[in-house]
Every structure is written in C-alpha cells, then in structure tokens.
C-alpha cells in the first residue's frame, strides 16, 4: 500500500504549505503529494489527473 496526498488552492496567492505539512504528518511521502493551483470552477486539474493515473487499488489517498 502506498500513501498518496492531494492538495489544492484556488489562487496563486494562496499557499499549499499548510496542506503539504499536514499530508507529510499523515505519513505521505513528499514525492507522493500531488497538487493544483487552480480555481474550483476549472474542469482541468492536471495534478489530480496525474494522481488518479498513478494510484492503484489498495493505495491510500489523503485529501486535506
């Protein structure tokens, strides 16, 4: 089982730091954290798409 994490902020002015720190504290390795800096109304989320292409059955996903 591999642990993965996903974080998203809506604007470039917002920081992912708090979310990334929480995901690391939850045991997610830094290389397994995927993120997007994109508005919630956007249909394109490249970080989420990459995560969904990588994750396998039995893996754990944490979203902060």
Residues acting as catalytic residues: 10
The full DSSP string for the chain is: --EEEEEEESSTTS-SHHHHHHHHHTT--GGGEEEEE--TT-S--HHHHHHHHH--TT-EEEE-
């Amino acid at each position: 089982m591999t642990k993965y994490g996903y974080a998203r902020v809506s604007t470039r002015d917002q920081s992912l730091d708090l979310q990334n720190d929480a995901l690391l504290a939850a045991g997610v390795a830094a290389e397994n954290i995927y993120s997007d800096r994109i508005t919630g109304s956007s249909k394109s989320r490249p970080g989420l798409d990459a995560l969904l292409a990588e994750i396998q059955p039995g893996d754990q996903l944490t979203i902060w």
